[in-house]
Amino acid sequence: MGTMPPRAHILVVNGRKVRQPVFVIGAPHSGADLFGRALKQSAGFHVTIGQEAVQGVVYAFARSPSIQRGRSDAAATVMRDAFAQAWQVTAHCCLTCSPFCRDAGRVTGPSCCVSERDIVRYGDASPDLMYCADALVDAFPDARLVQIVRDGRDVVAAMLGDPQTLAWFKPGMANVETEFPNPFFGIETEQDLEIWPELSAAGKCALRWRGAVRAMARLRTSLSSQQLTTLRYESMLQDPVAAASAVSGFVGDKVAPVAVRASRRDGQPAVEPGAWRRHLTTSQLTEIESVAGPDLRRVGYLD
């Protein structure tokens, strides 16, 4: 007797069914937030970025992946419930959103970034969402995933300039001893766990990038080209119109180009492609290549 196919769950938010939601994923500082901003500003899209209901679940799953193992149905239910709350449109729904999401939605005061009647598609580009990719696909089998890949050396340079990212490496935060393997920190093997205490911050950032691009490579082998597409950060900035056109074809709705000026934060340029040459020391580059050299070559960033 054959097994029964999984029962489809249709999420209804704001009185309409959620069809083919778009999720943007990538390693930290790979540009998922920038593409999320463009998606949020695209006509018909209601996109959240770091909304409290979602971010809490993301970090629970990302930091403790063991709670998902063998419980895919339960994890999918939790993800659907989080987005049911995050995507709900009310008069003051943006008050609890992250500052970045409010800025991307051009929200000031107690208003809402989108009109309920204009919504055609839903999406999310929350930080570290990529560590929940499997649960997202289980929750929304028709989801469209856009994964952003960026030169790991530039990612490390950007991470080293971000106190919030570096805070994860503090002894009280890095749960590498209690969660193994630990995708959040890129720790896959006993050898990774053994070298972890000896790595500098740059090495730990490189390990996180390596773990992320390996996870994205596994996604590419498990999902169809109709479900997943990959976009390079460098292409997104160098030719934003072409990148937006490619993703528009993938998701089936027009997506706005990334505004290059949005890659500037606090009045300072973000680490532009190739800026690692100015920001990283020789010893840091040596350590990065030791940790992630083969992966940098595999994705085309090292000869």
Report whether pLDDT(230) > 90.
yes
| CA–CA distance, 248 with 153 (Å, rounded to integer) | 29
Domain at 12-298: CATH code: 3.40.50.300
pLDDT of residue 279: 93
pLDDT surpassing 50 at residue 25: yes
Return the pLDDT at 103: 76
Confidence of residue 112 (pLDDT cuts 50, 70, 90): confident
**Res 231 pLDDT > 90:** yes
Q: Give residue 8's pLDDT.
A: 60
Question: In the predicted model, what is the mean pLDDT of the chain?
Answer: 89
> pLDDT confidence of 113, banded at 50, 70, 90?
confident
Across the range 239-243, mean pLDDT stands at 95
**180 Cβ partners below 8 Å, 6+ apart?**
187, 193
Residue 29 binned pLDDT confidence (cut-offs 50, 70, 90): very high
Q: What is this structure's pTM?
A: 0.92
For residue 276, give the H/E element and its range: helix 276-279
Residue 3 vs residue 233, higher pLDDT: 233
Report the pLDDT value the prediction gives residue 24, as an integer from 0 to 100. Answer: 98
Q: Is the pLDDT of residue 1 over 70?
A: no
Q: What share of the chain in percent tops pLDDT 70?
A: 92
The token pair that represents 237 in the structure block? 């900035």
Per-residue pLDDT at 13 exceeds 80: yes
Q: Is pLDDT of 209 > 50?
A: yes
Q: Residues of 79-99 as b/e, b for ≥16 C-beta within 10 angstroms? A: bbebbebbbebeeebbeebbe
Q: What is the pLDDT of residue 292?
A: 98
Q: Which residue has the higher pLDDT, 115 or 127?
A: 127
Of the pLDDT bands very low, low, confident and very high (cuts 50, 70, 90), residue 261 is low
The lowest-confidence range among 55-69, 96-110, 136-150 is: 96-110
Give the lowest-confidence range in 9-23, 237-251, 261-275: 261-275
162 CB-near residues (< 8 Å, 6+ apart): 28, 29
Contact between residue 150 and residue 205 where contact means Cβ atoms under 8 Å apart: no
Question: 136: part of which helix (H) or strand (E)?
Answer: helix 133-139
Residue 266 has pLDDT above 50, yes or no: no
